[in-house]
Structure 1
Amino acid sequence: MSLPVWSQNESVKFTVLKTGSIDPLEATTLQGGSWFKRFPMTHPAFLIEHPKGNFLFDTGLGTKAKEQVQDMVWWARLATEFNQDVSALEQIKEKGIKLDRIILSHAHFDHSSGVVDFPDLPIEVTVEEMAFAKTKDASAAIFPSLFPETVQFKTYELEAKEYEGFPKSRDIYGDGKLVLVGLPGHTPGSVGLFVNLSIEKRIFLVGDTVWNADAIEQGVPKFWFSKKFVDNKPDEVMLRIQELQALQKRSPEVLIVPSHDARSVAKAMELAK
């Protein structure tokens, strides 16, 4: 049997750009978590380098994050804490890397804050996510300063092509190395990204479908208050968790990485070395 196209070389490079962190109680990250221990969380941007182009999957916290958060409704602002690190923009400049675009897993503040730092790049989101973002009071985590006129948003639709058990997908460069799949629930247009470095090295970035990878193993949602605050359709999120459980059982070589789970992100960094 011939090998998949994506297994034939190591041409994709994966780098995590840490832009911030928080250290909440574990109980706030998943149902049944501990009220007596902290759970390290991170706000990353993921840098993907491919022979055909370089892009960020999410931006993490941008240079204007502390100003932007003031636009949040007061109760959401009180619940939003973060320790800010070096922005993705500054890290990209330091690396001297030219980006072609930014692809968002979804439009929430902690994933899209940095889009304003890249006014010359197209910011790609699904059609469903853009419609959601423009809906008045769609989410307390989406607000006007994230979408100024200077930002070049570009919408796309996933194709009705099954990939790893997910009914809709988009093969970004047509070689099977980087494949987006639909993960609706947290927001209507949420997507995840498969990063296929080799047969043995596969990473699946799942955005905020869960915050804590233990939620996949245990088959549980976020803490009830967190879920009410951030998940657009909690019932659909539970379906996505079940799909992730099935994927993990079927393809144990795939490292599933919730964006904010610092432990999982660290494992992805190690795997990509």
Structure 2
Amino acid sequence: MRKYLMILMAITAISFPSWSRDEKLNVKVLYTGTISPPEAETIKGGSWFKKFSMVHPAFFIQHPKGTFLFDTGLGHSIKTQVKDMVWWARSATKFIQKESAADQLKALGLKADRIILSHAHFDHSSGLIDFPSVPVEVLQEELDFLKTKNASPAIFPSLFNEQIVWQTYTLENKSYEGYAKSRDIFGDGSLILVGMPGHSPGSVGLFINLASGKRAFLVGDTVWNSDGITKGLPKFWISSKFADNKPDEVMTRILELQALQKKYPDLLIVPSHDAKAVGAFEEMMNRN
């Protein structure tokens, strides 16, 4: 009997992971800057008299199999980098810079094994040069885009240097929550990347699935304002002209998010710059 019990225990140990996602999967929000433009700049039909609170976060993700940054936010050299921005956009980009993600991680004694970009715009990639030896993962479409001259007013040469270690990856032809292609980062269903082209050719979103049943979806800059999902509205037309590579595709992504939210009312959809949504995500992870 004892022999069979020992065999059963061995099989159990092999069959099930020895860690709990709720205990081991952790996400820390690193705020690298803030900005408070009129709401009208963030969504079609918004108020010019109401301020909208925006943030520039990096997300530090800890998993039993590794750590990574999802975006870097604003880096050490952001004030120099934005000098490459077209004047009309620079005049409207009066953000308040905070500590860089690199400095915050150093102070916490934490280290990222790699960086995965939601997309390559300056407010998501400015800090790359602060991590010269850390591999940076992007889709090939995004790498081609950022290397194209005048690809976007939000991408400029000073963001990148020869020390950045680029690594491309591909999304598998496995549908996930309505998205045709996906990538299970650690193979356990906790962190799933999906393709969200439109804002840029290689934009991706990140599903975060906790064992507790709580779920979040980091959607980059498909919208800046969560009301864009609720109301099915794009950015203000000038903002879209500056930021969105293909506005029609962005609108398709917004309608997909609307349908997803209707299907899963408890799913927390997090636009990267919506301070309220990012704060709700931070609170969710802190409770977890």
Hey, what's the Cα distance between the residues in 2 that align with 1:224 and 1:75? 14
Counterpart position of 1:17: 30
Following TM superposition, where does structure 1 have runs of at least 4 consecutive aligned residues deviating by more than 3 angstroms?
Answer: none
RCO comparison, higher one (Cα < 8 Å, 6+):
1
Partner of 2:214: 201
- Once the two structures are TM-superposed, the CA of residue 80 in structure 1 deviates from its matched residue by 2.2
Which residue of 157, 167, 177 maps to 2:170? Answer: 157
Quick check: 2:219–2:270 contact (8 Å CA) kept in 1? yes
CA contact (8 A) 1:200 1:253 kept: no
Q: Could you tell me how far 1:78 is from its partner in structure 2? A: 2.2
Aligned length in residues: 268
Q: Is 1:116 the counterpart of 2:153 in the alignment?
A: no
1:56 aligns with 2:69: yes
Contact 1:19-1:60 at 8 Å conserved across structures: yes
Structure 2 contact 244–250 (Cα < 8 Å) conserved: yes
Offset at 1:76? Answer: 2.8
Map 1:55-134; keep pairs closer than 5 Å: 55-134=68-147
Give the letter aligned to residue 244 of structure 2.
D
Instruction: Note the alpha carbon deviations across 1:221-242, whole angstroms, 9 max, x for none.
Output: 0001101111000000000001
Instruction: Give me the CA root mean square deviation.
Output: 1.3
Which ranges in structure 1 are unaligned for 5 or more consecutive residues? Answer: none
Alpha-carbon offset, residue 34 of structure 1: 1.1
The TM-score normalised by the length of structure 1 is 0.95
SS of equivalent to 1:37: coil
Normalising by structure 2, we get a TM-score of 0.91
Structure 1 residue 74, shift from structure 2 partner: 2.7
Flag the structure with larger Rg. 2
Decide whether the 8 Å contact of 2:58 with 2:70 is kept in 1.
Answer: yes
Q: Say if 1:8 and 1:162 are closer, same or farther in 2 by CA, change over 3 A.
A: farther
> Percent identity among equivalent residues?
64
Give, in whole Å, the separation in 2 of the partners of 1:31 and 1:198: 37
Do 1:201 and 1:272's aligned partners in 2 also have CA atoms closer than 8 Å? no
The alpha carbon displacement at 1:111 in A equals 0.3
Contact 2:78–2:126 (Cα < 8 Å) also in 1 = yes
Equivalent AA in structure 1 for residue 207 of structure 2: F
SS of corresponding position for 1:61: coil
| Unaligned residue ranges in structure 2 (runs of 5+) | 1-16
Give the Cα separation in 2 of the matches to 1:46 and 1:197.
16
